[in-house]
Chains A and B, each alone.
Chain A
Amino acid sequence: MTPFHAMLAKELRCVCVSPVVYVVGAIFLFVSGLIAYLMVANAGQQAVRLLQIQNTYAQLNLNALVFRPMFYSLEFVLMFLLPVLTMRLLAEERKLLTFELLLTSPIGINEIISAKYMSVLLIYLGLLSLTALTPLLLSFSSSFHWGGITAGYMALALQGGLFLACGVLASAMTDNQVVAAFLSFGIILVIGLIGELGALLGDTTIGHVLSYVSFREHYDRLVRGLVEARDVVYYLSGIVLMLFTAHRVVDAHRWQ
């Protein structure tokens, strides 16, 4: 077992005994279930309406009526919930002075940060996989495109991965967990809003750059079922950039 694995195991152990992950998990699952119910109920109402108008059973597009709105809503939920999951990662270590133990151990800062990131990513992916219950249950009563749903889940996984990396960076910047949560929420919000600014500037170089930097259009394409390498590259490079910046921030703190 390498120091990285030891670090990852310890992080998962600490998360499992902390109430935060259970609260975040419960809210996430409850809200995602509620959203799915509302979308399905809405689709049902539309089917009834169509039946009244056309007097035939119309084949509803569940991908467009249920899953796509669900993915958009879940993105919004993640924006609020994931900062809570990441806020303690480095801020708590610094507050409780346990970071000195890690700094005096033969483990690199990159291993510390990647193990911490990996721990929250695993928990998030675990929670996300539980929401797959909705399409599984719906698949018994209706038929829909699994490809679109797979792309949507991929979008949620990548989007969540980026949000968590922003959270790790925010947690590296302060020793106050509440500040870390708000900071991470702020970073995510700014990256999101940059896309709106890019759309406003339209077909200009700055407009294109801003639109590319924001996750808006990348998420949008993936949710619509368009899996392209450039979007995946965007998310992966974004995650690496955030974690690398967190590494630099932690290293810079040693010199102060």
Chain B
Amino acid sequence: MITVQHISKRYGNHTALHDVTFHVNKGEILAFLGPNGAGKTTTMRILACVMPPSEGVAVVAGFACLEQPMEVKRRLGYLPETPPLYQELTVDEYLTFVGRVKGLTPQRVVSRKAAVMDQVGLGDVQRRVIGHLSRGYRQRVGLAQALIHDPPVLILDEPTVGLDPKQIMAIRKLIKSLATSHTIILSTHVLSEATAVCDRVVIIHQGRIVAEDAPEQLSARLQQAETMSLTVKQPTPDWQERLKTLPGVLNVFPGSTPHTCTIDCHPQQDLRDALSWFVVSQGYGLLELKSLSLSLEDVFLQLTQQDETSGLDALDHPDPSSSPPLRQREQTSA
């Protein structure tokens, strides 16, 4: 549905995007992750035909953005980072205007307006002037304008910014429900949002794609060792040294208290049984033993904090023996 091939964007001497290539299938939700200034918004603006790329081809719904921008625009709903709202119009007037500018017939505008106001929860403010609305409502009006012409492709730049937790849940649910009939690209700073909503994640850093995969796959690929967290009741001074002697244990790191530690194990081995048996047999008193995995936050931080080439190397050549101790997080069963 969306194909981006070797897109670059230069502003004078500054290169905002460097040879970006990715593909989004029909009905898929793709998340763009990246620090500020990484090139997320630039990519989205190119796809939405706001600006042309310096090099490369972007194809949306079968039409090239550069050659047939009008066809692309008819099939695309775009929510920029700041919702494009006319403060002096009422919600109803604004959505009527957007619907007509998008080329809908007057009858269709009326029916679509009612549908999107219902979808994003704007029914009670439809006669109010947009300038008087709260930030959350404005964000929802912005989302409504992207949906009004029922486009097959949606590009949403940080759609949940400024919303309260309840609204965020509602918008995420809405985005998920739209995915069956729409292809969606969204950018976000909230990593849990990408995990909760998206099928696939593209991490952009300094204008390049540094990783692209499903959220779970990304953490699995970057995980260079199986990691366990262990808490015991009665540790001896040398208990962590003795754990290191177990076959399959690569390294042991002290925890926040003398009772806990983090153990790196060989990736292909499940050592939970051996570890628990050892702790019990030595009389340390087993309190807790759990497997840890990388969260998307860790993946994100690892990829964007390291030099980008070493980040790519880490993806291509996982080398357990030279792995730096990563920030680990508890595996949560969603």
Mark A residues whose CB is within 8 Å of B. Answer: 1, 3, 5-7, 9-10, 13-14, 17-18, 96-108, 254-256
Chain B residues with CB under 8 Å of A13's CB are 88-89, 93
Mark B residues whose CB is within 8 Å of A. Answer: 11, 45, 48-52, 70, 73-74, 76, 78, 80, 82, 84-89, 93, 97-98, 100-103, 106, 145
Q: Which residue on chain B has the smallest CB distance to residue A103? A: B50
Q: How far is the CB of B72 from chain A (nearest CB, A)?
A: 9
Q: Is the CB of A254 within 8 A of B50?
A: yes
Given A3-B103, A106-B74, A255:B52 Cβ within 8 A? yes
Q: Is the CB of A104 within 8 A of B88?
A: no
Q: Is the CB of A101 within 8 A of B84?
A: yes
Q: How far is the CA of A234 from the CA of B140 in the complex (A)?
A: 49
Q: Which residue on chain A has the smallest CB distance to residue B54? A: A255
Q: Is the CB of A106 within 8 A of B88?
A: no
Q: Is the CB of B86 within 8 A of A256?
A: no
Chain B residues with CB under 8 Å of A98's CB are 84-86
Q: Which residue on chain B has the smallest CB distance to residue A17? A: B88
Q: How far is the CA of A17 from the CA of B93 in the complex (A)?
A: 13
Q: Is the CB of B89 within 8 A of A3?
A: no
Q: Is the CB of B88 within 8 A of A18?
A: yes
Q: Which residue on chain A has the smallest CB distance to residue B74? A: A106
Chain A residues with CB under 8 Å of B88's CB are 13-14, 17-18
Q: Is the CB of B101 within 8 A of A103?
A: no
Q: Is the CB of B52 within 8 A of A254?
A: yes
Q: Is the CB of B101 within 8 A of A6?
A: yes
B101 interface neighbour in A7, A14, A255, Cβ under 8 Å: A7
Given A13-B93, A100-B50, A106:B86 Cβ within 8 A? no
Q: Is the CB of A96 within 8 A of B50?
A: no
Chain B residues with CB under 8 Å of A104's CB are 48-50, 73, 76, 78
Q: Which residue on chain A has the smallest CB distance to residue B75? A: A106
Chain A residues with CB under 8 Å of B78's CB are 100-101, 104
A105 interface neighbour in B85, B89, B102, Cβ under 8 Å: B102
A10 interface neighbour in B11, B48, B51, B86, Cβ under 8 Å: B86
User: Which of A1, A6, A17, A99 is most buried by chain B, counting CB atoms within 10 A of its CB?
Assistant: A6
Chain B residues with CB under 8 Å of A9's CB are 97
Q: How far is the CA of A126 from the CA of B119 in the complex (A)?
A: 42
Q: How far is the CA of A100 from the CA of B80 in the complex (A)?
A: 8
Q: How far is the CB of A36 from chain B (nearest CB, A)?
A: 34
* 18 pairs from A and B in contact (CB 8 Å cutoff): A1-B100, A3-B102, A5-B100, A14-B86, A14-B89, A96-B84, A98-B84, A98-B86, A100-B80, A104-B73, A104-B78, A105-B73, A105-B98, A106-B101, A106-B103, A107-B101, A108-B70, A255-B52
Q: How far is the CB of A115 from chain B (nearest CB, A)?
A: 10
Q: Which residue on chain B has the smallest CB distance to residue A9? A: B97
Chain B residues with CB under 8 Å of A107's CB are 101
Chain B residues with CB under 8 Å of A96's CB are 84-87
Chain B residues with CB under 8 Å of A103's CB are 48-50
Q: Is the CB of B145 within 8 A of A101?
A: yes
Q: How far is the CA of A103 from the CA of B51 in the complex (A)?
A: 9
Chain A residues with CB under 8 Å of B80's CB are 97, 100-101
Q: How far is the CB of A21 from chain B (nearest CB, A)?
A: 12
Given A10-B86, A97-B84, A254:B51 Cβ within 8 A? yes
Chain A residues with CB under 8 Å of B74's CB are 106
A255 interface neighbour in B48, B51, B76, Cβ under 8 Å: B51
Q: How far is the CB of A1 from chain B (nearest CB, A)?
A: 6
Q: How far is the CA of A107 from the CA of B89 in the complex (A)?
A: 20
Q: How far is the CB of B132 from chain A (nearest CB, A)?
A: 13
A100 interface neighbour in B70, B84, B103, Cβ under 8 Å: B84
Q: How far is the CA of A204 from the CA of B274 in the complex (A)?
A: 104
Q: How far is the CB of B172 from chain A (nearest CB, A)?
A: 23
Q: Which residue on chain A has the smallest CB distance to residue B99? A: A6
Q: Which residue on chain B has the smallest CB distance to residue A18? A: B88
Q: How far is the CB of A123 from chain B (nearest CB, A)?
A: 16
Chain B residues with CB under 8 Å of A6's CB are 97, 100-101
Q: How far is the CB of A90 from chain B (nearest CB, A)?
A: 14
Q: How far is the CA of A1 from the CA of B96 in the complex (A)?
A: 11
Q: Is the CB of B50 within 8 A of A106?
A: no
Q: How far is the CA of A255 from the CA of B11 in the complex (A)?
A: 9
Q: How far is the CA of A107 from the CA of B99 in the complex (A)?
A: 12
